[in-house]
Amino acid sequence: MDASEGFLVQAENLSKTYRPRDVSPTVALRDVSLGIRPGESIALVGPSGCGKSTLLSIIGTLDHADTGHLQVMGLDVQHLSRTQMADLRFRHLGFIFQQYHLFPGLTVLENLLAKFIGRPRPKHARAEAENLLNEVGLSHKRNSLPKELSGGEQQRVCIARALLSSPALILADEPTGNLDSENGAVVLDLMLRLVKGRQAGLLMATHEKAMADSLDRSVEMRDGAIVGNIQNI
Ligand SMILES: Nc1ncnc2c1ncn2[C@@H]1O[C@H](COP(=O)(O)OP(=O)(O)OP(=O)(O)O)[C@@H](O)[C@H]1O
Ligand SMILES: [Mg+2]
C-alpha cells in the first residue's frame, strides 16, 4: 500500500467545466473534496446530471479537473504523464460501467485476460481469471461470447474483469443501471462481497437509494457539488 496518509484517493476542491464547441459551458463539478480509505465503499448519489460520472472519470484518471488537487494511491495525478496514468489505472484501479464494454468477439475468459493486452501477462493470471469466474458463478460460460449471456451475466463478467489482479479501488458507474431490480440486487450483493473480501475500496455512482444504503457511506451530489455525507454502517 503506497497511498499517502492511509488514503487511496484524496480529492481536494476539484472543479470541472465542460466547454463543448458552439454550446454554452456546463459546470459539472464545483469544489468537490473527497477522501477514500482502503476497503471503504462509498455511494455517489444524486439526480441525473449532478456530476457523478464526471467525478468517477476524474478520479479514474480518464479525464482531468480544471482546478483542484487529486492524489490517487499517493500520486499527484496532475504531475503524471499519460503512460504513468495508464500504469496507475492498470495496477490499482478496476472499472465497471453501466454499458458492459466487453469485447464482442472474445470469449468470457478471453475478455478477462484482455486486461493484459499490451502488457506482460503474469503466470498466475489465467488461474486467477478462472477462479474469479467461479466466484461470479460463470465458470460454465468461460467459452461463451458476451452476446450469449444475459445482462446480469455480462455484468458479472465485468465484475470479475475489474477485480482481476486485485486493484485497490473499484470505480463503478451505475453498475446495475441496465438490470431489473431483482438482478440488480444480485449483482450488487456479489460485487460488494467480492470487493469486501479483497478489502478493495469502492466508489459507485447510483440513482437508487436502496443500493446506496448497502455501502459504508453515501455522498450526495447536487448541481456539481457535494451536499451531504451519510455514514450507513
Ligand atoms: N463530455 C461532455 N461534454 C459536455 N457536457 C458534459 C459532458 N459530460 C457531461 N456533461 C454535462 O456535465 C454535467 C454532469 O454530467 P455527469 O455525466 O457527470 O452527470 P451524472 O450525475 O453522471 O448523471 P447521470 O445520473 O444521468 O449519469 C451534466 O450537465 C452533463 O450534461
Ligand atoms: Mg452518470
- Residue 72: the pLDDT is 98
Say if CB 132 and CB 54 are below 8 A apart: no
Whether pLDDT at 108 is above 80? yes
In a domain, 193, yes or no: yes
Residue-averaged pLDDT of the chain: 94
In a domain, 174, yes or no: yes
Q: Which ligand 1 atom lies nearest to the CA of residue 56? A: 18
- Residue 141: the pLDDT is 98
Residue 84 CB neighbours (<10 A): 13
Ligand closest to the CA atom of residue 97 = 2
From 29, 30, 32, 53, mutation site for ligand 1 pocket: most ligand atoms within 8 A of C-beta:
53
What amino acid is encoded at 36 in this protein? I
pLDDT (average), residues 4-13: 89
The CATH number that applies at residue 68 is 3.40.50.300
Name the band, by pLDDT with cuts 50, 70 and 90, for residue 145.
Answer: very high
How far from the centroid of its chain's Cα atoms is residue 23's Cα? 29
Cell numbers found for residue 171: 470505480
Nearest one of 207, 181, 198, 178 to 100, comparing CA atoms? 178
In a domain, 61, yes or no: yes
Name the band, by pLDDT with cuts 50, 70 and 90, for residue 1.
Answer: very low
In a domain, 142, yes or no: no
- Residue 233: the pLDDT is 74
Whether pLDDT at 75 is above 80? yes
pLDDT tens-digit profile of 176-225?
Answer: 999 998 899 999 999 999 999 999 999 999 988 888 999 999 999 999 99
Domain containing 48: what range?
Answer: 4-100+167-231
In a domain, 115, yes or no: no
* Strands (E) located in the chain: 9-18, 26-36, 41-45, 67-72, 75-76, 93-96, 169-173, 201-206, 217-222, 225-231
In a domain, 216, yes or no: yes
pLDDT tens-digit profile of 36-51?
Answer: 999 999 999 999 999 9
Say if CB 28 and CB 54 are below 8 A apart: yes
Alpha-carbon span 54 to 137, nearest angstrom: 32
Whether pLDDT at 109 is above 50? yes
Alpha-carbon span 55 to 48, nearest angstrom: 13
Count of the separate structural domains present in the chain: 1
Pocket of ligand 1 (CB under 6 A): 18, 20, 26, 28, 48-54, 205
Ligand closest to the CA atom of residue 63 = 1
In a domain, 116, yes or no: no
Whether pLDDT at 19 is above 70? yes
Nearest-5° angle of CA 208, CA 214, CA 219? 65
- Residue 161: the pLDDT is 97
In a domain, 114, yes or no: no
The alpha carbon torsion through 115, 116, 122, 127 (nearest 10 deg) reads 40
Whether pLDDT at 2 is above 50? no
- Residue 5: the pLDDT is 63
- Residue 4: the pLDDT is 53
3-state secondary structure of 167: coil
φ/ψ bin of 5: left (φ > 0), alpha (ψ from -120 to 50), beta (otherwise): left
pLDDT tens-digit profile of 113-124?
Answer: 999 999 999 999
Atom 2 (ligand 1): residue with closest C-alpha?
Answer: 18
Is 0.75 topped by the overall pTM?
yes
